[in-house]
């Protein structure tokens, strides 16, 4: 009967001794991972958004729409995530993306607007709704 009580106690002591001997300070330190270096030939200059200007008849714009521009007219709706604005037309639902905060103020929920811009299917978003649409101009419809 003594051996049935002694075996678990001995196992406990062996395990405890094994844990106590693993000293993190005695472990070899890992070398820090090398940081990626970029040479000047690998740096890509991205275009800077243009400043907001006034278009024809005082319509606000923030640059030219460029190739692939699309015009969408509809009523601004709120997305399921905070600060997400959507606009729908017959081709689908678009997530409105603004580089200019002043233009975003013109896109209030419930307001009917016409926006010009381009779809950006590959753009990451936390809104999880609609195709991202980079707005270059907005006006009341």
| Domain assignment of residue 90, yes or no | yes
Q: Which of 137, 136, 80, 85 is nearest to 108 (CA)?
A: 85
The more confident residue out of 27 and 75 is: 75
For the stretch 50-70, what's the b/e string if a residue is b when 16 or more beta carbons lie within 10 angstroms of its beta carbon? eebeeeeeeebbbeebeeeee
Q: What local confidence, expressed as pLDDT, does residue 141 receive?
A: 87
CATH classification of the domain holding 127: 2.40.50.110
In a domain, 61, yes or no: yes
**Which pLDDT score is estimated for 111?**
94
pLDDT digits (tens, 9 = 90+) for 22-34: 555 555 556 665 5
Q: Would 78 be classed as within a structural domain?
A: yes
Say if strands 92-97 and 131-140 run parallel, antiparallel, or are unpaired: parallel
Task: Give the range of the structural domain holding residue 62, as residue numbers without chain letter.
Answer: 54-140
Residue 115 lies in a domain: yes
More confident residue, 114 or 57: 114
The residue that leads in pLDDT, 44 or 107, is 107
pLDDT score of 19:
58
Assigned domain for 6 exists: no
Higher pLDDT, 37 or 71: 71
Total tally of structural domains belonging to the chain:
1
- Does a structural domain hold residue 105? yes
Inside any domain, residue 48:
no
Structural domain contains residue 2: no
- The vertex-75 CA angle with 98 and 109, nearest 5°, equals 65
Q: Output the six-digit token pair for 13.
A: 């002591």
Residue 99: pLDDT band by 50, 70, 90 thresholds?
confident
């Amino acid at each position: 009967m003594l051996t049935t009580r002694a075996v678990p106690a001995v196992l406990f002591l062996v395990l405890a001794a094994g844990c106590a001997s693993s000293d993190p300070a005695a472990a070899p330190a890992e070398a820090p991972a090398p940081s990626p270096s970029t040479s000047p030939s690998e740096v890509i200059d991205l275009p800077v958004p243009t400043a907001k200007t006034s278009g024809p008849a005082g319509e606000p714009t923030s640059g030219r729409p460029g190739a692939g521009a699309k015009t969408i007219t509809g009523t601004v709706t709120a997305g399921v995530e905070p600060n997400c604005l959507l606009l729908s037309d017959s081709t689908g639902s678009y997530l409105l993306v603004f580089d200019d905060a002043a233009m975003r103020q013109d896109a209030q929920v419930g307001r009917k607007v016409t926006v010009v811009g381009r779809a950006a299917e590959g753009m990451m978003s936390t809104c999880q709704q609609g195709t991202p649409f980079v707005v270059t101009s907005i006006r009341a419809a």
